[in-house]
Amino acid sequence: MTNWWLLLSATVLCPCAAGPPPARRAFRPRSFHGFDTPSAHFVGTNGPAGIAFGGLSSREGSRPPGGGRARIGWVSEPSVYAAPTAHGSISELIRRHSANPEDVRDVALEGVNVAAADRLLDLGCGFGFMAEGLARRAPAGTEIVGVDVNPSNEIPFVRTVGRAGCRGRFVCERLVDRLDPVAGRFSGAAASYSLYFFPGLVRSISRILRPEGFFVAVTHREASLRHLLDVLDLPADNAPHLAVLHRFSAETGAGLLTPWFGSVETREYPNDLVFERADFEALLAYVRFKLPLIVRGFPLGMDVPRPIAGRAAVHLEREGRIEIAKDDRVFVCREPR
């Protein structure tokens, strides 16, 4: 019996997990949820509820170190991001089920001088989610360089940026702690939901920016990830992504950035994912995507274990909806040192 199954059985089937769930706070648009660690479970409607730009082509870099798994710092991160189509559908699913109607990219980029940019950098770019936001605001034809360890992101990234009117260039590289200065200077850089994979890069990011350049970083709140674990009755001490997130989270991010930027502005993006009775399949798809990140050793592509799916179905049927905290924080950094 594998490690993850033992853990799931122990936590999901234990009698203490079967009690009525405590209340989940209601979503308050554009307000601050607080940094409390939510203790809610299923909620009812009526009660408890070194870029080597010089030299490395994307082809040369097209094998993630370690084969199917990218070794990231001291944590081996399953490559859930190696399939851009699946990652893109989860991103859309998140948008559809978000209680916050605002697009997080609008919150992140509001008042940031992207319109004056001529070269932009998207670190850990994935299929181009943040690059699309940048491209829509940048002058037509602006070069946006996307860097990602997963080569499968190249085509979707270049396509996404192109559709939004800019020129996408993809570099397949595992970022650690250095951006090659031969890459030249950038008007701005972004890292959305990725800086925690390469927190040692911040100093290099500040150095690669022009004096008037900006760096926008978006990350999750650790309390939200703990809430998801709580909802699923999974133990926090076996969730590899919690340790990764802690390196650059809403809670810890300012400390990482302030030594390298004269100005670090924070913006909240309070949000809940809401799943109603008819959304059971969507809920399962979201949980399936998350499990390899939150249960050590959970196989990629494996179905949601029956105890979890069964409990979710029962709660949805009984209570009508499930809310999962998904609060983010944006850091807008200026005056690179």
Residues near ligand SAM (CB under 6 A): 70, 72, 81, 91, 124-126, 129-130, 147-150, 153, 174-175, 192-194, 197-198
Distance CA 201, CA 268 (A): 23
Distance of closest approach, residue 271 Cβ to ligand SAM, in angstroms: 14
Structure tokens at 280: 């059971």
Residue 95 CB coordination number (10 Å)? 13
Residue 227 vs 241, nearer CB to ligand SAM: 241
Burial class (CB in 10 A: 0-12, 13-18, 19+), 146: buried
Q: How far is the CB of 71 from ligand SAM (least distance, A)?
A: 9
In the complex, the smallest distance separating the C-beta of residue 130 from ligand SAM, rounded to whole angstroms, is 5
Kindly state the smallest distance separating residue 66's Cβ from ligand SAM, in Å. Answer: 12
Q: Which is nearer to ligand SAM, 172 or 209 (CB)?
A: 172
For ligand SAM, give the closer residue by CB, 70 or 274: 70
Report the nearest approach of ligand SAM to the CB of residue 74 (Å): 12
Distance CA 77, CA 21 (A): 31
Whole-angstrom Cα distance, residue 5 to residue 234?
A: 11
12 or 171: whose CB is closer to ligand SAM? 171
Q: With respect to ligand SAM, which residue has the nearer C-beta, 41 or 87?
A: 87
CA–CA separation, 273 vs 115, rounded Å? 32
3-class DSSP string for 211-262: EEEEEEEEEECHHHHHHHHHHCCCCHHHCHHHHHHHCCCCCCHHHHHHHHEE
Reduce the DSSP state of residue 276 to 3 states and report it: strand
- Residue 142, phi then psi, degrees to nearest 5: -60, 140
Nearer to ligand SAM among residue 44 and residue 61 (C-beta)? 61
CB of 314 vs ligand SAM, minimal distance in Å:
31
Tokens 């592509």 correspond to what residue? 301
CB of 288 to ligand SAM, least distance (A): 16
81 or 186: CB nearest ligand SAM: 81
Q: Which amino acid is at 160?
A: T
